[in-house]
Every structure is written in C-alpha cells, then in structure tokens.
C-alpha cells in the first residue's frame, strides 16, 4: 500500500505540495483506504500578513489614526461606543449627547478639556454630514454652537501657525531687500530706517506679504471688486446715458 501511494505521489509530481497536503497524504497513507482527508486548519500556522500584523487593538489602526479608525480597529466592543458614524440616518458618537458635544468626555491628559479634540470632532461631523446629508428631525436637534470653544483655542490652532509663517516670510524678504538696497546705495541696514522712503518700502513689503500670500490672491481681490460693484451696474443700466429726474 505504501509503495502504491508513494508511486502515485511521485507520478503526479506536484511541485509545491504544501504541508497540509503532505499531511493528508501521510495520513491517508497511515490509515489506508478508509482515511478521511480532514484538513486541520487550526494547526496550520498563518503568515504574519494573515495574522494582521504585530500590533493589537487601537494601535493597529495606524501611526496617526483618528479616533474613528482607532474605534474601528478595536471592533464593536470598543471603549465607549460609536465614533463619528451615521447609523440608520442619524449621527452617532459616544461624545455627542443631546445635540451637543459633551465636553467632559474630551478631557486631555491634565484633566482640562482638550479643545483641539473638540475642534477635530466638530470638523469630522461637518464633513460627514456634508458628504452624506441626513434628514433633519425634531427628535435629534443640533444645538452645538462653535462659540462654546474659547477664542484662544481657535487662535492657538489656526492663527498661530499662519502668523509664524507670515512673520518668517516678512523677515526674510525684509532682510534680503535691505541687503539689496545696501549693496546698491551703500546705506547700511539701520540707516535705511532713517529715510522716509526706507520706512515706506518696509511697510509696503510687510503688508504685501500679509495680504498677497499667493498669486491666486490677486485674482481673488479682483473678483471681490467685481462682485462688489456688479449689482450696482446692473441696476444703473437703465440710467446709462439718460438724465435721471432726481439729479435735477
């Protein structure tokens, strides 16, 4: 019997015979014709990719994952409930209670409310509802007002990085222009400030950097002027070249 099996195995010559199949064959060989070829999956060791990586739980979501993906990675039995999800046409989040963000659930490490997390959550909620609008119901009114987040949290999160960037640019541009002027006229950096023209140019440089951040800003300002005056032009079209009674 053994000889027949091995002869068959040799005849078929399957090159990549996995361990499972070898086991089956071996078992069949052992048990004879009445062997049942049961695959014992639980003994088979899976590859690392199939095992789902080496991390577990929330860490498995990724390096910089948001709350939503961490929750998804933890599975349904997550920490506190759904995070930023639309369930049956309603917005569900474990921190969203009664149409408001419950600020006590946003406590950071030091026990104070982590305003950045609140801003993130509201941003994500708005994006979610923008992408898939849900009907407005009387039972779930939305009452959260963005003025609940204090002004310094907004400044710290949005204004300060931008201010840093703009200040840096202004300083660099100012210094380079001052060097340039120094080379041309021989007037030193500090002496340039004594002349009126020098001061004017300094102001122009700084304000230009503040107002015109990219080239598309110039188009934006042109558009604003057009928008501000277009309606007036449309109304006055009837009076083009005509005398208007109220002018007399």
Select 38 or 137, whichever has its Cβ closest to another protein. Answer: 137
* Residue 238 interacts with another protein (CB under 8 A): yes or no: yes
- Look up tokens 């089956």; give the residue: 24
Q: How many CB atoms lie within 10 A of CB 178?
A: 20
What x/- string results for residues 20 through 59 when contact with another protein is judged by CB under 8 A? ----------------------------------------
Assigned token pair, 138: 């009387």
Residue 113 pairs in a beta bridge with 107
Instruction: Please give the Cα distance from 123 to 150 (Å, whole number).
Output: 16
Nearer to another protein, 134 or 171 (CB): 134
Name residues contacting another protein, limited to 99-158 (CB under 8 A).
Answer: 119, 122-127, 129-131, 133-138, 141-147, 149, 151, 154, 157-158
**Residue 173 Cβ, how far from another protein at the closest point, in Å?**
26
Which DSSP string corresponds to 61-123?
Answer: G-TT--HHHHHHHH-TT-SSS--SEEETTEEE-TTEETTEE-GGGGB-TTSSB-HHHHHHHHH
The smaller minimum CB distance to another protein, of residues 112 and 243, is found at 243
Q: Interface residues with another protein (CB under 8 A)?
A: 119, 122-127, 129-131, 133-138, 141-147, 149, 151, 154, 157-158, 223, 226-228, 230-232, 234-235, 237-238, 240, 242, 244-246
């Amino acid at each position: 019997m053994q000889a027949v099996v091995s002869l068959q195995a040799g005849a078929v010559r399957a090159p990549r015979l996995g361990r499972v199949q070898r086991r089956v064959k071996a078992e069949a060989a052992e048990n004879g014709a009445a062997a049942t070829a049961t695959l014992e999956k639980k003994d088979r060791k899976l590859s690392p990719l199939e095992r789902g990586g080496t991390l577990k739980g929330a860490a498995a979501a990724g390096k910089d994952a948001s709350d939503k993906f961490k929750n998804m990675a933890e599975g349904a039995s997550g920490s506190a409930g759904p995070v930023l999800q639309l369930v049956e046409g309603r917005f569900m989040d474990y921190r969203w209670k009664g149409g408001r963000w419950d600020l006590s659930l946003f406590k950071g490490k030091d026990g104070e409310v982590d305003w950045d997390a609140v801003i993130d959550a509201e941003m994500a909620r708005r994006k979610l509802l923008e992408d898939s609008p849900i009907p407005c119901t009387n039972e779930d009114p939305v009452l959260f007002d963005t003025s609940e987040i204090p002004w310094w949290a907004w400044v710290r999160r949005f204004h300060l990085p931008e201010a840093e960037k703009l200040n840096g640019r202004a300083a660099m541009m100012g210094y380079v222009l001052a060097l340039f002027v120094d080379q041309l006229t021989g007037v030193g950096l500090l002496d340039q400030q004594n002349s009126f023209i020098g001061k004017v140019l300094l102001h122009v440089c700084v304000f230009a950097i503040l107002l015109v951040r990219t080239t598309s800003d110039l188009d934006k300002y042109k558009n604003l002027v057009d928008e501000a005056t277009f309606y007036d032009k449309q109304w006055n079209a009837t009076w083009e070249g005509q005398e208007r009674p109220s002018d007399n």
